[in-house]
């Protein structure tokens, strides 16, 4: 089996270039524009592209083995996809359209080259699926396997941020919540999650179309749900200077998470890593939610509303009384999932 120490560092760029060349400009409708605007591709000191006159969004986020994932939890391609989606989701939360990704990978010298290939394939595939071309990166030796992805996008219409939500806005989430946390909880307890739960964790979706459509429709604020719904709702409210009230029974859960009853509801409220969007919509946008869901092919669910009680986050139980979920939410320094 070929290992990284045999292939060397420069093999990385050759591999990256091959993946970009394999998908030339114009072949994929989604990445055609971004690829056509690429002036210098992977393999030089920097990649160069021609901007349009639209604002550019840029974000970077890392996945580290033993902290964010374990290799027996997912395939190499899924890992690459996940690294891309985690970042593309940040762009989606700004109302941005992805353009380019760069993947900086660290790995031990005895890492099989096939693992690197899988990661790059996954990164390239998820980038492309989001309309972005993978144009650069870096490979360095380290004990920890990690992928630090940088994603760039442009904002074609109104810009979303965490600030801007107003009292009276309805709170909307994409997709379903809690599946990723339920999968991690299974692994931590020593059981394997079902394939449905495993995929909820391993293969999140970047909600790009929904982010763009909700921004265009006039949404006020958005954040991606990475730390857990309540934690990220807290960030959105803090940035916007509002409070929020959400209803536990309205939180969208997959069939399997729904069968977990109270634990499932807690995963949905507090578990992290769903990478869904949480969006604050004024009533006139909320009124068009079904139409936007249909047009973007994205489930959209109203879960509550913003209040004028600055910083107060209330989770209402079925009895309409405040419900206290288990404190949770993902903090990288509270201990790795392997602990």
Q: Kindly state the tokens that stand for 293.
A: 């869901």
Nearest to 187 by CA among 74, 330, 326, 333: 74
Q: Judge whether 82 and 204 are in contact, CB under 8 Å.
A: yes
Separation of alpha carbons 96 and 245, rounded Å: 27
Please say which residue, 140 or 262, places its beta carbon nearer to a second copy. Answer: 140
Nearest to 251 by CA among 320, 315, 192, 203: 315
Please say which residue, 141 or 249, places its beta carbon nearer to a second copy. Answer: 141
CB of 50 to a second copy, least distance (A): 5
Beta pairing partners, 306? 244
Separation of alpha carbons 103 and 146, rounded Å: 10
Please say which residue, 154 or 266, places its beta carbon nearer to a second copy. Answer: 154
Helix (H, G, I), strand (E, B) or coil at 281: strand
CB of 266 to a second copy, least distance (A): 21
Please say which residue, 55 or 317, places its beta carbon nearer to a second copy. Answer: 55
Please say which residue, 83 or 257, places its beta carbon nearer to a second copy. Answer: 83
CB of 227 to a second copy, least distance (A): 9
CB of 101 to a second copy, least distance (A): 10
Please say which residue, 55 or 282, places its beta carbon nearer to a second copy. Answer: 55
CB of 166 to a second copy, least distance (A): 17
Task: Give the DSSP H/E element, type plus range, for residue 67.
Answer: none
Separation of alpha carbons 268 and 179, rounded Å: 7
Q: Judge whether 84 and 39 are in contact, CB under 8 Å.
A: no
Separation of alpha carbons 71 and 83, rounded Å: 13
CB of 294 to a second copy, least distance (A): 25
CB of 97 to a second copy, least distance (A): 12
Nearest to 172 by CA among 218, 227, 129: 218
Please say which residue, 155 or 197, places its beta carbon nearer to a second copy. Answer: 155
Separation of alpha carbons 301 and 259, rounded Å: 19
């Amino acid at each position: 089996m070929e290992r990284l120490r045999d292939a060397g560092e420069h093999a990385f760029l050759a591999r990256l270039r091959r993946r970009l060349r394999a998908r030339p400009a114009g072949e994929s409708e989604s990445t055609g524009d971004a690829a056509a605007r690429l002036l210098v591709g992977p393999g030089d000191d920097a990649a160069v592209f021609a901007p349009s006159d639209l604002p550019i969004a840029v974000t970077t986020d890392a996945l580290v083995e033993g902290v964010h994932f374990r290799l027996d939890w997912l395939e190499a391609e899924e890992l690459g996809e996940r690294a891309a989606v985690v970042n593309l989701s940040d762009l989606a939360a700004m109302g941005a359209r992805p353009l380019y990704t760069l993947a900086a990978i660290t790995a031990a010298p005895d890492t099989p080259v096939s693992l690197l290939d899988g990661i790059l394939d996954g990164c390239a595939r998820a980038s492309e699926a989001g309309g972005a071309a993978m144009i650069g990166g870096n490979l360095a030796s380290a004990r920890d396997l990690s992928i630090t992805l940088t994603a760039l996008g442009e904002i074609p219409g109104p810009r979303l941020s965490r600030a801007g939500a107003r009292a009276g806005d309805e709170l909307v989430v994409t997709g379903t919540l809690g599946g990723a946390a339920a999968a991690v909880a299974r692994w931590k307890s020593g059981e394997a999650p079902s394939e449905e739960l495993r995929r909820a964790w391993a293969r999140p979706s970047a909600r790009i179309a929904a982010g763009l459509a909700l921004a265009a429709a006039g949404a006020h604020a958005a954040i991606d749900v990475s730390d857990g719904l309540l934690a990220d709702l807290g960030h959105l409210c803090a940035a916007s200077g509002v409070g929020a009230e959400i209803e536990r029974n309205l939180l969208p859960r997959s069939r399997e998470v729904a069968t977990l009853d109270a634990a499932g509801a807690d995963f949905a409220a507090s578990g992290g890593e769903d990478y869904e969007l949480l969006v604050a919509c004024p009533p006139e946008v909320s009124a068009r939610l079904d139409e936007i869901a249909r047009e973007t092919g994205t489930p959209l669910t109203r879960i509550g509303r913003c209040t004028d009680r600055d910083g107060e986050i209330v989770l209402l139980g079925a009895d309409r009384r405040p419900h206290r979920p288990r404190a949770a939410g993902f903090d990288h320094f509270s201990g790795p999932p392997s602990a």
